[in-house]
Amino acid sequence: MPRPIVAIVGRPNVGKSTLFNRIIGERVAIVEGTPGITRDRLYRETEWLGRPFLLVDTGGISSNKHDPFTVKIYNHAKLAIEEADVIWFVVDAREGLHPLDQEIAEILRKTKKPLILVGNKADTYDPALTSDFYRLGFGPPLLISAEHALNLGDLLDQTVAEFPDGQEEAEEAIRVALIGRPNSGKSSLLNALLGEERVIVSPIPGTTRDAIDTPFQYEGTNYILVDTAGIRRKARIEEAVEYYSVLRAIRAVERADVAIVVLDATDFLAEQDKKVAGIAHEAGKAVVLAVNKWDLVEKDDRTAQAYLERIRRELSFLDYAPVLFISAKTGQRIQKVLPEVFKVANEFAKRIPTRVLNELLREALLRHQPPTHKGKQLKVFYITQVKVKPPTFQLWVNDPALLHFSFRRFLENQIRTHFGFTGSPIHFLVKKRTKD
């Protein structure tokens, strides 16, 4: 299920960034250093009451329509508002109602999206602080102090209550997101898969701005292909719209079952490729790696193997993902892409009976003794699959702290050897079992 997006909007100097930093500083869900792009300064993943969401910071909206910089900031905020599921409209409770607050309120009123009016800088509760803001038409503001972390729990409680219902519409289609650096050939690949010009293709990097859903059928199976904007390095993201192209790409991946990570064979495995691939890995999606523009590479009988070895070395966190060498331009091996997507989508949704899993566990434990730490040995009592998409397995052990990464990896390899799960990540949940 896609993470909801919460956008922080308001005029300059009302404390939006202080609020953003306070929330993510206490509840950052993604650890720095893991592959991915979601740690950009404008948006971070956080959570409240077990509900993860993306919190988006925006620049202060100004009334100066002639300054290019303030226009760019306005475009930032406008795009964030369009993507948001919930809006925090932040005002300065100490200063009172400002004419610019009323201008912003007019913009937000047209969105018809869930909105929480947030009166910041209210270091002490004073009902008098709220009276002016009734004129905005959003009811009384929720008084908080981002600086002193006052009433943030109430704000987050109200926010989570506004999130879209977790029930998704049943859809008998495999959703496939195409992601990659700009100009890697994503749109060309989409057109090649469809057999027609559905998406504008341009040699100018960054042509695709929005994520575009394209439903179609292939060999009796329904698919929805989502082409996304190319994901650039932070230093290259110069336009306001580029930040939110990345945000939309992340959302597209989260709505997908399978991500096709498109790599450019002529400019192979740049650092940004690893971050793009990390988006799909972090989101727990099935992955197919498509090395595009293969027709432009000078080859001998070792070239493909050398490329594959480099992929396995530098994208080791995606060692489960199949690799295809294709050319969207010439059609080389394009016919293999959708069958591979179909295969990994089925692996992604595969469920293994508990009895079979525990038979495998017993055999694995006989071949490989669990580790011992300070004289205490790990005991694995039971395993069951609790979820698909991605396949998630619950382990009951005597002490979760004894489950070393290497032994977890051993169990994953055993599961893959016996049951496949090609193209799909495998997740483990570990619980302590009491003597009872």
Task: Examine the pLDDT at 145 and tell me if it is beyond 50.
Answer: yes
Helix 337-348, helix 186-194: angle, nearest 10: 100
pTM of the model: 0.63
Task: Look at residue 370 in the predicted model and tell me its pLDDT.
Answer: 82
- Checking DSSP bridges between strand 43-48 and strand 51-57, what pairing results, if any? antiparallel
pLDDT of amino acid 72:
64
Whole-angstrom distance, CA of residue 181 vs CA of residue 118: 38
Per-residue confidence (pLDDT) for residue 30, from 0 to 100:
28
The domains of the chain, with CATH numbers, are 5-161 (3.40.50.300), 174-348 (3.40.50.300), 354-432 (3.30.300.20)
Query: Residue 120: pLDDT above 50?
Result: yes
| Per-residue pLDDT reduced to its tens digit, 180-232 | 888 888 888 988 888 865 444 445 444 444 445 677 888 888 888 876 654 45
pLDDT of residue 423: 96
Which of these ranges, 160-164, 198-202, 294-298, 349-353, has the smallest mean pLDDT?
198-202
Which residues have C-beta within 8 Å of that of residue 195, sequence separation ≥ 6? none
pLDDT given at position 66: 63
Distance CA 286, CA 421 (A): 9
Q: How confident is the model at residue 428 (pLDDT cuts 50, 70, 90)?
A: very high
Side-chain half-sphere of 52: how many Cα atoms within 13 Å? 12
Tell me the average pLDDT across 63-85: 70
Q: What is the pLDDT of residues 32-63, one digit of tens each?
A: 333 322 223 366 778 898 888 888 888 777 76
Instruction: Label the pairing between strands 212-218 and 174-180.
Output: unpaired
CA distance 198 to 223: 15
pLDDT (mean) for 264-293? 91
Average pLDDT over residues 89-108: 92
pLDDT digits (tens, 9 = 90+) for 263-277: 999 999 888 888 889
Of the listed ranges 34-38, 232-236, 237-241, 392-396, the one predicted with least confidence: 34-38
pLDDT above 90 for 71: no
The pLDDT of residue 403? 83
Separation CA 22–CA 15 (nearest Å): 10
Mean pLDDT of the chain: 82
352-364 residues labelled b (16+ CB within 10 A) or e (exposed): beeeebeebbeeb
pLDDT at 289: 97
Q: What's the length of the chain? A: 436
